[in-house]
Structure 1
């Protein structure tokens, strides 16, 4: 299963961030996980629907550095690898 393409941090700051990625096959859902680098290794993970191509997160620690990754998931087909990390400052 392919890793989602086009994943990037579209905006970040003021304790929030928006992540974007390319539309995927309708058979795939996406998992997105992010963590504050100063609190390694605790991830927060969100699952999004197959038609979604953005995720907004808030309640981040403003001014802190984070990393975020995405993967595809499908019932019966398992999961892809996690993407390479994107980093951002909330």
Structure 2
């Protein structure tokens, strides 16, 4: 089973951060915003949905590529690195 990488979550946060900086920068441009507005709209309507789709994609089977429902995923076993000493009763 393949889940989306955690790097996609970081990319999503970065994409929204860039978008906020672009909005702030566009506010400082004044009347010349008309030249930058198409770039801002293209980024907001193109990159953000694409990155959001990648970051929130469901888990897929490695061999066949089918989507694996969350209820079918086995819980992950966590093994301790160091075992605790036994207590005397």
User: Shorter-normalised TM-score: what interval?
Assistant: under 0.3
Q: Which has the higher helix share?
A: 2
Structure 1-normalised TM-score? 0.22
